[in-house]
Amino acid sequence: MNSPPSLIAQLQEIQQQIRAGSHQEAMARATLASSVTVLSIQPVATIVLAVRGGIQQAWTRQEEMGEATYQALLAETPPPKTNDRAADYRQIDNEVPVQRITCTHCRIRPGFGLCPRCQGVGVLLSDRPGTESVLDCPDCEDGFATCTVCGGSTQSRVVTVRYVTIKPLRINHVIPCHGQEALKEAYPDKVDLPSFLAYDLESSSAYRGTSADVGKDYFGFSFEDTIVRAKAFIDRLHSAPSFLVDSLQSFAMPYLLVHLVTRSQIRRRAVFCIDARQEFFLRGM
């Protein structure tokens, strides 16, 4: 099975088998019923959008830093784009002016701040076993050490820093339809969809130049309103600044929606489709 016609033929064969009374027990199990009666069989199709890229989260924070730190951060560039899009970096927000100021971390003693090792106490407790002696801190003088912000220059900058985290995005988005949950299970996010089901939403070219009536059906399987929904979703996706879309492919996904009734007259539905492994797939609803 490597073409839409062969897939459609297989679904049509299943449809004929259901009409002939086959798959009754399987549908009953799938819908958690003791027995079911088929009311109708609906050949329908939806669109699945394979979206690959990243989700970006970014925030800014004002920070005070010395000249050396500022120059180092200024020279940093975002990491190169990788296949999985994962990234975590920071950069200076050039849209906000940088301010030069007198360092606020060493006002008491210009050029010197509280020692980070002894927290400005000037002494340390001995860590040798069995002793309780107090030692002078080797990193400072009377609790003061070279300022860790300005490096002793007494000059610093107030900079707006932009922090960026990008997480990989790899989803197969099933456009809402009657069989959405079943199709999500049949085509999970991590799998690649069959290339022969690629469907151009604009030109309506379904397979090797064969035209389907876009917005209506896919080789006789009704799209209902899923084409309109798919285009609307794509518009929202491209307008959302947090989504970084590297590739977006659309696929037509035909399936059978079977309307059932149980012995106690409770309505149920079952979905028949072909999954990502190109195997028979049935789920009840």
Closest CA to 102 of 173, 156, 63: 156
- Tell which of 119, 134, 165 closes a domain: 165
Judgement on whether residues 35 and 20 belong to the same structural domain of the protein? yes
Could you report how far apart the first and last alpha carbons of the chain are, in Å?
A: 27
Judgement on whether residues 49 and 172 belong to the same structural domain of the protein? yes
Judgement on whether residues 19 and 34 belong to the same structural domain of the protein? yes
| Cβ 93 vs Cβ 160: under 8 Å | yes
Judgement on whether residues 125 and 23 belong to the same structural domain of the protein? no
- Tell which of 120, 139, 165 closes a domain: 165
Which residues are registered as beta bridge partners of 51? Answer: 171, 248
Judgement on whether residues 174 and 216 belong to the same structural domain of the protein? yes
Judgement on whether residues 199 and 258 belong to the same structural domain of the protein? yes
Judgement on whether residues 62 and 45 belong to the same structural domain of the protein? no
Q: pLDDT tens digits for the chain (285 residues)?
A: 578 888 899 999 999 999 999 999 999 999 999 999 999 999 999 999 999 999 999 999 999 999 999 999 999 888 877 667 788 999 999 899 999 999 999 998 999 999 999 988 999 887 776 666 888 899 998 899 999 999 999 999 999 999 999 999 899 999 999 889 999 999 998 899 988 899 998 765 444 444 444 458 899 999 989 999 999 999 999 999 899 898 999 999 999 999 999 999 999 999 999 888 888 899 998
Closest CA to 38 of 65, 60, 68, 17: 17
- Tell which of 165, 199, 234 closes a domain: 165
Judgement on whether residues 174 and 257 belong to the same structural domain of the protein? yes
The count of domains in the chain is 2
- pLDDT, position 208: 42
Judgement on whether residues 87 and 122 belong to the same structural domain of the protein? yes
Judgement on whether residues 276 and 242 belong to the same structural domain of the protein? yes
Judgement on whether residues 179 and 238 belong to the same structural domain of the protein? yes
| Cβ 208 vs Cβ 187: under 8 Å | no
Judgement on whether residues 134 and 26 belong to the same structural domain of the protein? no
Domain boundaries, position 118: 56-165
